[in-house]
Structure 1
Amino acid sequence: MASMMWRGMLLAMQHAQSFGEHLRSWRQRRRMSQLDLASEAGISTRHLSFVETGRAAPSREMVLQLAEHLELPLRAQNALLVAAGFAPRFGERALDDPDLAAVRAAMELVLKAHAPNPALAIDRCWNLVAANESALKLMGDVAPALLAPPANVLRASLHPDGLAPRILNLGEWRAHIFARLERQVDVTGDPALTDLLAELRTYPAHGAHAPPLREAAPVITPLKLKTAAGVLSMFGVTTLFGMPQDVTLDELAIETFFPADAASAEMLARL
């Protein structure tokens, strides 16, 4: 499987950037000069310049060292290695792989234990991996097409056939989602996230407007959702797996929601 993945990545890279271009792109994305990166990586600026221009070939150790100081996600580290002509370092198992059984069990335990509050697991593109019963109930009136696999939770949230008509602070929530996605794009350089952000921006805002920038930002942006029982106000917390050595785990997150007030806590308990 690893060799097949490597060959696939090599073919994909044939029409992509060279290693030097790839490295320079990440360095500039991180807003680092050649001097900054060279100093942190413990190499000369001259040598780094030669590597970026293709006049010198990096060793595998140097590629990993540069990737570490650029704080690249595991998928990007693999791509950088392949661009330099090396095999990827990190595997990418499917979540149903037997080696990830303990991870699946932990994820399901967290989702179940978080009830009656909503919780869901997502991949790097915000596609739904799993959800507890509370989260599924809140999405009960979302159009079936939006929940068909791979269901994207941001699309289901902001689409006019999704939760958007029931989000009372839609302008504020949209601004929060866009800002979060922009940061994620900046960190990962993932074109799929760039496309998702562009798509979400085309959705109608139902007359909602983001709060003026001059206004003080709230400590936490709540999701205010209209339900049959009343207005449900919640805030989210993201949980990541610590020190993952697999691309799938590096990109897996658990989004847990908590009631923002006593009335919302009572409402969730009655779900």
Structure 2
Amino acid sequence: MTVAEARQRPVGRLLRGWRVRRRLSQLELAIAADISTRHLSFVETGRAMPSRDMVLRLADQLDVPLRERNQLLLAAGYAPVYPRTPLDSPALDPVRAAVRRGLAAHEPYPAVALDQGWHLIDTNHGAALLTTGAAEPLLAPPVNMLRLTLHPAGLAPRILNLGQWRAQLLGRLRRQVELTGDPELADLYDELRDYPCDQPEPELAVPGPGDVLVPLRIRDGERRLSFFSTVSTFATPLDVTVAELSVESFFPLDQATTAAFSPADGPGTPVGTAVVG
């Protein structure tokens, strides 16, 4: 959204949209923000213009992402307060260093750094396992990790439990769309949902005997590897770029997978998809 477009959209209408998205009544939001329901109603209908602090307070109670908080401020006639620093800026040197340390510490297992749109920011050596055999267009920067994973010319043909893994990925993306209201993520969800899948996709992940996590099961030549993943984010971001960074790390789920990553039988070398300088 441009600055001009943001100014043309009343802040009250935007705030009401976020309140509805969060499934809160005016009374519930008013109590949480310590304002009167009458005043909140006036703000939403445009009869009252909120102060800068009021916009930020309501955005905080609505758990609005930092990028969209700036848009709310613009719509109310105020300057944005959350910077969006380029990732290669010297100001983010500590952030890039922390990401790299996390990726390196996870060797030899795969780990990837992503932005909000699921684009690859950096990888470790083990992440080569997730890109092997993918079509060249899918590896052209900016690489979208969801597209690379679920595309029939990407990782999908090597995922043994594609239906199960695809269902949980699409579920994560759907929840992210609901949280952020990002139209680009919504378009990505529609694209990925149309990719073919020849396996059943469970609506709910119901554990089988001994299951504690949804696994990623990959065919790597003659080997069958099983992983679970964790996602790390920065706990106290005040910058849009930092707030939207995450690191997904894949851990072996069984002894056979652990053994496959021993120094004598590693997964190979990384592909040239990293963009952090």
TM-score range, shorter chain: over 0.9
Q: Does 1:13 align with 2:6?
A: yes
SS in structure 2 at match of 1:91 = coil
Distance across 2 between alignment mates of 1:266 and 1:41: 53
Q: Report the CA distance shift for 1:236/1:215 in structure 2 as closer, same or farther (over 3 A).
A: closer
Distance across 1 between alignment mates of 2:69 and 2:126: 37
Q: Which of 131, 145, 167 pairs up with 1:175?
A: 167
SS in structure 1 at match of 2:261 = helix
Contact 2:163 2:200 in 1 (8 A): yes
Match of 1:142 in 2: 134
Q: Which of 255, 261, 266 pairs up with 1:262?
A: 255
Contact 1:74 1:247 in 2 (8 A): yes
AA matched with 1:255: E
* C-alpha deviation, 1:211, in angstroms: 3.2
Deviation track 1:156-205 (CA, whole Å, cap 9, x = no partner) reads 00000000001010000111011111111111111111111100011110
Contact 1:155 1:200 in 2 (8 A): yes
AA matched with 2:202: P
Distance across 1 between alignment mates of 2:39 and 2:66: 25
* C-alpha deviation, 1:14, in angstroms: 4.5
Distance across 2 between alignment mates of 1:133 and 1:99: 26
Contact 2:7 2:74 in 1 (8 A): no
Q: Which of 225, 230, 253 pairs up with 2:223?
A: 230
Q: Which has the bigger relative contact order, CA under 8 A and spacing at least 6?
A: 2
Match of 1:209 in 2: 200
Distance across 2 between alignment mates of 1:104 and 1:158: 28
Distance across 2 between alignment mates of 1:185 and 1:83: 21
Distance across 2 between alignment mates of 1:161 and 1:35: 50
* C-alpha deviation, 1:12, in angstroms: 3.0
Distance across 2 between alignment mates of 1:245 and 1:177: 27
Contact 2:113 2:248 in 1 (8 A): yes
* C-alpha deviation, 1:216, in angstroms: 4.2
Contact 1:173 1:222 in 2 (8 A): yes
Contact 1:241 1:249 in 2 (8 A): yes
Corresponding pairs, count = 262
SS in structure 2 at match of 1:254 = strand
Match of 2:186 in 1: 194
Q: Which of 93, 98, 118 pairs up with 1:101?
A: 93
Distance across 2 between alignment mates of 1:236 and 1:215: 18
Any gaps of 5 or more consecutive residues in structure 1?
A: 1-7
Q: Which of 252, 261, 267 pairs up with 2:245?
A: 252
